[in-house]
A and B are shown apart, each in its own frame.
Chain A
Amino acid sequence: MWETLAQAVINGLLIGGIYALVSIGVTLIFGVVKIVNFAQGEFVMIGMYISFFLSSQFGVDPIVSLVVSMPVLFVAGVLIQHFLIRRVLGPNDMPQIFLTFALSLLLLNLALMLFTANYRTVHTSYSDEAFHLGGLYIPVAKLIAFVVAMGLSGALWIFLHTTDLGKAMRAASQNRDVAMLMGINPNRVFCVALGVALALAGAAGSLLMPFYSAYPFVGQVFTLMAFVAVVLGGLGNVMGALVASLMMGVAESLGIQFVGADSGLIVVFAMLLLTLAFRPTGLGGGKAR
């Protein structure tokens, strides 16, 4: 019994690490730029296709291709902020919602047109391997993905707390007007926030590739999970999103194990409802960190 339980927890933590990369991006954009990015999942999809093509054309290991997918998406984020989002930042939320939603639809249909709806997988030497400990097993590809995801989250944490630019981002997220009065250039900060968030999505895509298939709709699964994690963790709260993502992974896994295999999302959304009812500001508290 404890073995099944432990295995379920391990499975949940491992997939939670991927959810974390996506939800940290969403929460970072929301905290700093104050917009909801509905297209975050589509950037995961783009990251996956970058890794897929680098691997199938040039034989680059999908995890290594992170060094390409992250910078590419960072630049994409900066450009999207500078040329698109900057124009709709204002008192009205509606244009912002439409913009990111339209972006999501555009990317999705572009992918359908360019790559077709076929499933694409990369097969690496470690794709099907696992470490066995007693009766438990840890898949190698997922362990690598988890470790790199946690490393990237940690690096982001250090960046936000030790560098001037990171501090400026946190300042803009706490109070945009005061931050501007203190001489912080908001567009520059927003560009970096978008870039970092999209780079994380790209990293998630590359890390997923050794054990998951790329197809145009793949991002939608992750967008949904990311939104739940962001609300659970407290809007704009990076650490909260990380913890909430791991919790959701575990809750989903336990739900499948002990309730039923089609109940994974039910458990996650029950958690969300309870949190909203009893701690409306999220588990991590309301303040952006």
Chain B
Amino acid sequence: MTKDRNESVTNLATGQNQPFSKKQSRRRFLVKTGGILAASAFGAVPLRGWAAEPVNIGALYPTTGSMAQIGVGCVAAAKLAVEMVNEAGGIKSLGGAKLNLIVSDLQSDTTVTRTETDRLITGNKLSAIHGCFASALTLIASEVCERAKVPIITGSSSDQLNKNRTYTFTPFARASQFAKAQLQMAKLVGDKPKVAVIFENTAFGTSTSNGLKELAPGEGVEIVMFEPYSAGFTDASPLINKVKASGANALFSVSYLNDLILIVRTVKQVGLNVAINGGSGGFVIPDFYKNVGNLAEGLQGIAHWNHDMSNDAQKVNAEYKKRTGEFLFEYAGGLVAQTFMLADALERAGSADPQKVREALSALDVSTGYAAMAPGGKVKFGPDGKNVFGHPVGVQWQNGDLASVFPDEDKRAPLMKT
């Protein structure tokens, strides 16, 4: 050992003409070997104040392209979460190691997602990854992670993420649960809900609306109109004319932001009195309210996370609001909780090795603290990587803010009848 040390020192002395970076790495090598020596000498007890190796966490989000708006918000939340963990002392079992966030832009593109995920994993020593907002992107990233044996934790709702996967963890509600909750919410508005379902004729629209159609009879909800429309239309009036003729008293719109804005405005112009449920995604972000203004009041939606759920969530929301000026939206809030779940797993694993982190994640069982910020306040993963307590929360736009209104255990404000 001493010989090694001496050699290193002599190397250092002889290598003075070499580039600065080289010397840097030698110095780090010395620090490390010194660390190992010290650890063995003191029975592997990490020394206080010792600069532990940071733990790398990968963050995959679309920060440019069509999903950029949400992606940028996600990255802001991810940074906030990492700061919170680090300020609270980092990972104590790893000698107070700090989390180091490595962000990668997926450009809202499925092909880029594959190459970027690959690049992120091969280029860095990662302990875990979180991402990617859109299910279409997450499905691809999770495939890459599975092959590379790096755990990925995600708020994406596709049920496919729980099939044949061992490194993928989904702490929040699944797509199939969303449909069920939406139907149950329709019953809050009236005893005999007559629902019109309109959906864009894409994979997203068709699969979501079929889920609604299948579950409706079991929930005692009558679907009086079930109509696909061409996404990106110029005029919603004929469609809303049809909804009016159907005699529906509730309207489920499975749409992206732009179509939904047109639909909401047209419903108002027609003077149609229906309770609108806009689902999740583009509906539960601050931008929706900015675009439709007062018309959003009373509209219902569904989310896997909401900022008024618990005291912890409200605390994080306040900090996020201070930084960005907007409330912490569904996906971004969820990933703050995810970061704390990772921290909890790292703490118990006592190692930055992705395999050990995966094992610790699969044994996660929390009901307090920031890691438990989920509807119901409990997170525990089943063998399929699904949170066994996971369920969605029904939300409603009230005074420019999203309030949790369903189910009763997560309710923070009474449902406003429209």
**A interface residues, Cβ below 8 angstroms from B:** 4, 7-8, 11-12, 14-15, 18, 116-119, 121, 123, 127-130, 132, 137, 139, 211-213, 215, 217, 221-222, 225, 252-254, 256-257, 260-262, 264-265
Contacts and interface: CB of A to CB of B under 8 A. Distances in A.
B291 interface: yes
Nearest to B259: A213
A256 B238 contact: yes
B261 A117 contact: no
A15 B234 contact: yes
Nearest to B64: A116
Contacts of A132: 271
B103 interface: no
Nearest to B268: A128
Contact of B201 (A129, A211, A262): A262
A211 B66 contact: no
A15 B228 contact: no
Interface stretch (B20-28, B125-133, B239-247, B375-383): B239-247
23 contacts: A8-B238, A11-B237, A11-B241, A14-B237, A15-B237, A118-B68, A123-B293, A128-B265, A130-B271, A137-B269, A139-B237, A139-B266, A212-B262, A217-B232, A221-B232, A221-B234, A253-B235, A254-B238, A261-B198, A261-B229, A261-B242, A262-B228, A262-B230
B196 to A, nearest CB: 11
A266 to B, nearest CB: 9
The 8 closest A-B pairs by CB, nearest first: A256-B238, A261-B229, A11-B237, A130-B269, A117-B66, A15-B235, A253-B238, A128-B268
A12 B238 CA distance: 8
Interface of B: 64-66, 68-69, 108, 198, 201, 227-230, 232-235, 237-239, 241-242, 245, 257-258, 261-262, 265-266, 268-271, 287, 291-293, 295
A244 B65 CA distance: 36
Contact of A7 (B227, B241, B261): B241
Given A130-B269, A137-B270, A256-B239, 8 more contacts: A4-B241, A12-B238, A15-B235, A18-B234, A128-B295, A137-B271, A213-B258, A256-B238
B148 to A, nearest CB: 30
Nearest to B264: A128
A93 B291 CA distance: 43
Contacts of B241: 4, 7-8, 11, 257
A222 B232 CA distance: 11
A265 B265 CA distance: 22
Given A4-B245, A213-B261, A129 B269 contact: yes
B261 A256 contact: no
A80 B233 CA distance: 30
A165 to B, nearest CB: 33
A225 B230 CA distance: 14
Contacts of B238: 8, 11-12, 252-254, 256-257, 261, 264
Contacts of A260: 227-228
Quick one: which of A8, A132, A225, A264 has the most chain B CB within 10 A? A264
Contacts of A7: 237, 241
Contacts of A116: 64, 68-69
A217 B234 CA distance: 12
Quick one: which of B201, B235, B239 has the most chain A CB within 10 A? B235
A261 B265 contact: no
B229 A262 contact: yes
Nearest to B229: A261
A242 B29 CA distance: 77
Contacts of A221: 232, 234
B43 to A, nearest CB: 56
A252 B232 CA distance: 14
Contacts of A211: 262, 265
Contacts of A215: 258
A268 B276 CA distance: 30
A108 to B, nearest CB: 13
B107 to A, nearest CB: 11
A261 B233 CA distance: 10
Nearest to A122: B291
B3 to A, nearest CB: 59
Quick one: which of A14, A137, A254 has the most chain B CB within 10 A? A137
Contacts of B291: 119, 121, 123, 213
Nearest to B243: A261
Nearest to A210: B265
Contacts of B295: 128
A130 B270 contact: yes
Contacts of B268: 128
A264 B230 contact: yes
B269 A119 contact: no
A119 B258 contact: yes
A117 B271 contact: no
A257 B241 CA distance: 7
Contacts of A264: 230, 233, 238
B258 A261 contact: no
B314 to A, nearest CB: 28
Nearest to A119: B258
A83 to B, nearest CB: 31
Nearest to A7: B241
Nearest to B201: A262
A23 B266 CA distance: 25
B262 A256 contact: no
A127 to B, nearest CB: 7
Quick one: which of A7, A18, A128, A265 has the most chain B CB within 10 A? A128
A185 B296 CA distance: 56
B387 to A, nearest CB: 32
B383 to A, nearest CB: 39
Nearest to A221: B234
Contact of B261 (A121, A130, A222): A121
B254 to A, nearest CB: 12
Nearest to A257: B238
Contacts of A217: 232
Contacts of A212: 234, 262
A262 B117 CA distance: 36
A138 B192 CA distance: 31
Contacts of B235: 11, 14-15, 252-253
